[in-house]
Structures are given as C-alpha cells and as structure tokens.
A and B are shown apart, each in its own frame.
Chain A
Amino acid sequence: DAGVTQSPTHLIKTRGQQVTLRCSPKSGHDTVSWYQQALGQGPQFIFQYYEEEERQRGNFPDRFSGHQFPNYSSELNVNALLLGDSALYLCASSIKNQPQHFGDGTRLSIL
C-alpha cells in the first residue's frame, strides 16, 4: 500500500519563475493538504483540497494556488517565485476523522 508520494524530490528555480509540485495521496484518502516548511521551522498550512475544491486556506498570497484532480491527486503552483519561497513543501492526505499522512516533501531552492 503506497503512502503519500510527491514529485519531484528536489527542484531549483530562479526568482520570478513559476513551479508546479505534485502529490498522490495514500490509497483510500480523499483530502489533500499542502504545507510549507522553512528551514528550522515547523510546517505552515497553505491550503486543503477536497472534492476538487479549495476548502481551507492559510495565510499565503494568491501566488500560491492549487488543484485537485478526480483521482484525488493534487498540484501546488507557485508563481513569481521569491527567495523566501525556498522551503520543503509537504503534502498530506487524509480521510474524514483520520490523521493526516505526510509525504517526504519537495525541496524547492530559489536562486
């Protein structure tokens, strides 16, 4: 039973570019959440998708957007990248009333 898988594992971009990160949830899960973890800090909630709609959003600008597909997989898009966007981006999946399961993340570096 595969857990949460994220791709790519590492990514290097330059300021102003756009990036797309991908997440496949654990089998049987229908909800996907995205978190940003800056170096030395705890993860911060970006947003959550359920039934292909954004259900909750944290304190992140509109440059951060997402999508959920009918097979429950999800994408995180970040436009106009800033140096401060360098972080580990974590995807977590869940199903109602069950704890979130996390992937190993995508390490994004902005030059």
Chain B
Amino acid sequence: AQSVTQPDIHITVSEGASLELRCNYSYGATPYLFWYVQSPGQGLQLLLKYFSGDTLVQGIKGFEAEFKRSQSSFNLRKPSVHWSDAAEYFCAVGESDNAGNMLTFGGGTRLMVKP
C-alpha cells in the first residue's frame, strides 16, 4: 500500500528566508507525486506535480520540488518566503497509470511566516 510521510508538523520561517518542506513516500511502482496548499477554510490548490522526466519541477507561486528516487523523497522548496505563503501544505502520491486516480496524502505541514 502506498503511504506518504511529512516529518514536520509545524515549520516557522522568517519572511524572505528560504523554505524546504520534506516529503517521503512509499510506493512500489513509479509514483505520481503532488504538492497541494490549503489556506484556512478552503480546499486544496495544486502547486506542482511530477509524472516523469526532469526530476526538478517548477510550480506556481515560485515553488519547486525535486524527485529523488533513491531517497523516496519529493521535497518542496522556495528561495524566499512571503507572508502570504502561510498555510498548510500537503504532499500526495497517486497511482502511476492514471493521475486522476485516488491520492494518498501525508499529514500536512503547517507553515507559519514571521515578519
């Protein structure tokens, strides 16, 4: 069975500092990997996705993520955090033959941004 672990429940960074959110997955085949962001009281917005090809993927809002098969990781990064980035971030893995199929989510990382 597939699973996703986000080791950091909470992270606080200063505005303008760099950010890295960790994600480790367990999946037998080639995974489809996603990062979503959720603001309070709202649904999930897709930041970026990895299906195949270049292991460094660019997303919206200046985010990027790197797929490392050897480490079973898909960490999310941003070089300079803005106050509006404060939210909950979820990493997810999907089945490889159809990206629209069921997603397995991690427990999330809550990002707080200090002025």
Contacts from A to B (Cβ < 8 Å): 4, 31, 33, 35, 41-45, 48, 56, 58, 90, 92, 94-105
Q: How many residues of B contact A (CB 8 A)?
A: 23
Contacts from B to A (Cβ < 8 Å): 4, 34, 36, 41-46, 49, 90, 92, 98-108
User: Considering only CB atoms, which chain B residue lies closest to A33 in the complex?
Assistant: B102
Q: Are A44 and B105 in contact (CB under 8 A)?
A: yes
Given the known A-B contacts A41-B108, A42-B90, A42-B108, are A104 and B101 also in contact in the complex, defined by CB atoms under 8 Å?
Answer: no
Q: Are B103 and A97 in contact (CB under 8 A)?
A: no
In the complex, what's the smallest C-beta–C-beta distance from A27 to chain B, in angstroms?
16
Tell me which residues across on chain A come within 8 A of B103, comparing CB atoms: 33, 35, 43, 45, 92, 100
